[in-house]
Structure 1
Amino acid sequence: MMKQIAPTPLQRQGMERMEQRLDALLHDPVMPVPGYGVMAFDRGGLVCQRYGGLARIEPGAPGGGTPFGEDTRFRTASISKVFSALAVMQLCEAGKIDLDEDAGLYLGFPLRNPNYPAVPITLRMLLSHTSSVRDGSVYSIPPEDRLEELLLPGGKYNRLGDHFAGGSDGTDRSPGRYFSYANLNYGIIGTILERLSGIRFDEYMRTRVLEPMGLGASFNVGDFDVQALGRLSPIYQSKNGALWDASQPWAAQIDDYNGKKQPRDQVLITNPDLGGENVMASLADYRIGDNGTLFSPQGGLRISCREMRALAELFLTGGFVDGKRLLSEQSVDTMFTPCWHYDPDHPNGDSYDGLMCCYGPGIHTMTSGARDRFLQERDIVLSGHFGEAYGLLAGLFLDRARGRGIFYVINGQGAPDSEHHGCYSGMYEWEERLCTALLDCFFPEG
């Protein structure tokens, strides 16, 4: 796996200050976190990792629970999209798929925005959120329903066409022209992967992507034995819901299995961004290729920090993990090549408070613009992806040319994120503090 690199004298000088800033998050009187993990990469290797707090909160246990460490797994939310994108790029290399072909040809039914019926929707558009697809009122549906019920006119979940953008206000939101982040894009991608391979999405990702990378991570918690489940961190939020209350501190939002083995033939249907209730459903009668939303290709990967290093290694080496080529350098370059840039003079997308201004096939570039920036006083450009769901916040961002980057994760928030938007960016306050601590320490020169 990724080589260890000794910090430079300047980096070593900043580490104590960084550690103090990170540990302060655990005891913040207003917005604490239960646990965290951070890593810094430089010269193509791991230069630092640090962990603090708890992965699992058990008030009666010694120390209050299980410490958060490099082997703690967590539902990494939207960083999962990057792994799903890797699977697409592998199929491109095998000649089984074309990023610029009409995606409906791979689905087996027409994929068209009824407001722009003449414009094909391609995989490149789906990967880069320029497809004109929208999450609508629901984007993950039960195993007995086919994806067509979401996307075709008259479908069970196609309510007033809310899964496609319109242009009634005069704005051109046709496929390929307008950016709007939507999880359903990756549910469609998951369905395509199943249809082309004949393999269920979670199994495809495990056998074709994760295991070849040397990872025990999975999109299906049923893959984990009791020992592995003991290393899976629930994601927490404040029990109070609105304000931090130390007398009623934490409530698990997801993945609180208490060490009980989960069946592989069940799946948890989740729509976290829409506030939907999580529902456990049986896969006994599921037909592969019907509904790739089941295993949350957009957010359902459970992975550890140690395992996340393999993704950083793959990108920083141009496609290698542990000396084995898993993706061509050309494919890596394609992922890191933006398809869309925000144009403030002629708004061509939803920038999410300025956070998203540059996006490629599965990769988001922070350009150090007015609000898509990691630091308040200094410009630094990195590419990767954020993760956010149920209280988790995470980010993996890299500078491939210089062999450097950062990763951070917190497994819960002690206050609503809606009350803690960033001071100088479109990130949340927790992320600004984490990124500032890491970048000021390890890359103080820019």
Structure 2
Amino acid sequence: MMKILVQFLLITFLLANESKSLGQIAQALPQEKQEILRHIFQKYGVLGGSVASFSEKNIHSFSYGYAFPDSIAFSDSTFLRIASISKMFTGMIAMQLCEEGKLSLDDDIKKFLDFPLYNAAYPKIPITIKMLLNHTSTLKDSKIIVDYAMKTIFRDSSLQTQSIQPLKHISTKGNYHFLPAISTTKKGESIAIKPGEYFHYTNLNFVILAHIIETIEKKPFYLSVRERLLQRYSVHGGFIVQELPKDAILSPQYLWKNQTWHPEADYYTKHYDSVFTSILHYTPGLNVLRFSPQAGLRINCTGLASFFRQFLLDSAMQALRTKMFTSSWKEKLNNNAGQFDNLFKEWGLACHIIQTKQGPFIKDFPWIGHIGRANGAYTIVYMSPLHKKGIIILINGMKYQPKGDMGFAEIEKEIIKSILSE
């Protein structure tokens, strides 16, 4: 009887120190690190979030707070819209198509578009697939694009019927979607903003890239992600909320305003079909803004850790990883827009490269990954391919938001430092 009791208690202890996230299993981080992380989350007024670290052998995780204030806890199986980390998935598919000979990094994008999109200031310089992947296309984001995306994604309750308008409607004559040909530095120097040379981080790059993917694949973008990437590693998630498991908890993204948490995205009081425009008769290549390929992947922390852990260990992905993680742009004098507090010094294809000591990263270089910021949420994935390890941070909102166009937020630096410390 005593032996059975001991076995039962041992099993209970093991279960208490593991988290099973819809097929993904993570062990709890050591208690000492949990206490450090709990203090950090409290310090910055985090509503809810998860942290995961992964190595060649395992995944460890920690969760804190709420997915919904004072009601549903945030766990490592809680899904969250991970913002710009989504771009890495879009980029991976583009590179798979390159490996299959269906696309080339040097292809002029006009080959795949049914609307004109070129930098009128440099008409002889083609905008290539590579320029989309490494943010040197000189394309820019605009409020008009954001507004058009909102109309594409969400139903207008005042309309009895609503159809998704084609992406080609963004096309206008001239230089509308591109940066100016000349920019002036703080020192008053004039510099040329040339495609293929000047780095300017832009969401529109990955919208155009996903449109090209749909044109080639002849299927909706979200299906390509599911079939080519998520199913490969048995990870749940998707670029539309209907892709999530029926029992999934999807956390909104929050801003703290007037002493109250305000859900800014993925907060639904009605059925999804009443919120989103219908994709029942969606034609591939119509308008990929519907799936937010630059920011719209919903996935949970353990699933994201499992995905990138398997991606690093997958021998069939070796060539793709090498190409993706190889530098395709480096900062030089006057070739960088200096966004995110000049965080980006080097870029691969759809990923940030850190080669030397920067922020919380002090060894095990290079570190490859992406940051995400959207509607109050903060997300991060960075991995060390040589050491087969990485870190994931998902935060749905926090009271003490950084101000300005920052690089790594202080909370991110503290979390990464605590995880990477021996």
Structure 2 length-normalised TM: 0.82
Rounded to whole Å, the distance in 2 between the matches of 1:207 and 1:316 is 19
Tell me how far 1:24 sits from its aligned partner: 1.4
The structure 2 residue matched to 1:433, chosen from 391, 411, 414, is 414
Rounded to whole Å, the distance in 1 between the matches of 2:67 and 2:210 is 29
Aligned counterpart, 1:236? 254
Equivalent residues of 1:189, 1:292 under 8 A apart: no
Tell me how far 1:114 sits from its aligned partner: 1.0
Pairwise CA RMSD: 2.6
Tell me how far 1:54 sits from its aligned partner: 1.4
Aligned counterpart, 1:137? 143
The structure 1 residue matched to 2:266, chosen from 241, 255, 276, is 255
Q: 1:129 to 1:255 in 2, by over 3 A?
A: same
Q: 1:397 to 1:293 in 2, by over 3 A?
A: same
Tell me how far 1:427 sits from its aligned partner: 1.2
Instruction: Please tell me the residue identity of whatever aligns with 1:166.
Output: P
Instruction: Please tell me the residue identity of whatever aligns with 1:397.
Output: Y
Instruction: Tell me the SS of whatever aligns to 1:38.
Output: strand
The structure 2 residue matched to 1:349, chosen from 333, 336, 340, is 336
Instruction: Tell me the SS of whatever aligns to 2:40.
Output: helix
Rounded to whole Å, the distance in 2 between the matches of 1:3 and 1:73 is 15
Q: Does the alignment pair 1:373 with 2:359?
A: yes
Structure 1 length-normalised TM: 0.78
Q: Does the alignment pair 1:93 with 2:99?
A: yes
Q: Does the alignment pair 1:124 with 2:130?
A: yes
Rounded to whole Å, the distance in 2 between the matches of 1:207 and 1:312 is 16
Equivalent residues of 1:3, 1:45 under 8 A apart: no
Aligned counterpart, 1:204? 224
Equivalent residues of 1:225, 1:261 under 8 A apart: no
Q: Output one character per residue of 1:186-245: Cα deviation in whole Å (capped at 9) or x when no partner.
A: 1101111111122122233223332233122010113346522xx1111112132xxxxx
Q: Output one character per residue of 1:369-397: Cα deviation in whole Å (capped at 9) or x when no partner.
A: 5xx4225x778641111111111111111
Tell me how far 1:354 sits from its aligned partner: 2.0
Equivalent residues of 1:239, 1:251 under 8 A apart: yes
Q: Output one character per residue of 1:166-204: Cα deviation in whole Å (capped at 9) or x when no partner.
A: 223442221110100000001101111111122122233
Aligned counterpart, 2:319? 330
Tell me how far 1:118 sits from its aligned partner: 0.6
Rounded to whole Å, the distance in 2 between the matches of 1:235 and 1:355 is 24
Q: Output one character per residue of 1:140-163: Cα deviation in whole Å (capped at 9) or x when no partner.
A: 424443333324417xxxxxx342
For these two proteins, the number of residue pairs brought into alignment is 379
Tell me how far 1:4 sits from its aligned partner: 7.2
Equivalent residues of 1:21, 1:437 under 8 A apart: yes
Instruction: Please tell me the residue identity of whatever aligns with 2:223.
Output: E
Instruction: Please tell me the residue identity of whatever aligns with 1:219.
Output: F
The structure 2 residue matched to 1:38, chosen from 51, 54, 76, is 51
Equivalent residues of 2:67, 2:73 under 8 A apart: yes
Q: 1:356 to 1:166 in 2, by over 3 A?
A: same
Instruction: Tell me the SS of whatever aligns to 1:401.
Output: coil
Rounded to whole Å, the distance in 1 between the matches of 2:25 and 2:34 is 22
Q: Does the alignment pair 1:227 with 2:252?
A: no
The structure 2 residue matched to 1:309, chosen from 297, 305, 324, is 305
Q: Does the alignment pair 1:187 with 2:207?
A: yes
Rounded to whole Å, the distance in 2 between the matches of 1:312 and 1:132 is 29
Rounded to whole Å, the distance in 1 between the matches of 2:369 and 2:363 is 19
Aligned counterpart, 1:276? none
Equivalent residues of 2:352, 2:370 under 8 A apart: yes
Equivalent residues of 1:315, 1:400 under 8 A apart: no
Instruction: Please tell me the residue identity of whatever aligns with 1:20.
Output: E
Q: Output one character per residue of 1:14-58: Cα deviation in whole Å (capped at 9) or x when no partner.
A: x44432221113433xx300112111223x13352111211222x
The structure 2 residue matched to 1:150, chosen from 166, 170, 173, is 170
Aligned pairs for 1:271-420 (under 5 A) are: 281-283=277-279, 286-317=282-313, 319=314, 325=316, 328-343=317-332, 346-352=333-339, 353-368=341-356, 372-375=358-361, 381-418=366-403
Equivalent residues of 1:336, 1:360 under 8 A apart: yes
Rounded to whole Å, the distance in 1 between the matches of 2:73 and 2:414 is 21
Which structure shows the higher helix fraction?
2
Rounded to whole Å, the distance in 1 between the matches of 2:26 and 2:143 is 46
Q: Does the alignment pair 1:25 with 2:40?
A: yes
Q: 1:4 to 1:316 in 2, by over 3 A?
A: farther
Aligned counterpart, 2:160? none
Rounded to whole Å, the distance in 2 between the matches of 1:336 and 1:145 is 36
Instruction: Tell me the SS of whatever aligns to 2:207.
Output: helix
| Sequence identity percentage | 30
Where do 5+ consecutive residues of structure 1 fail to align? 58-63, 155-160, 241-247, 268-280
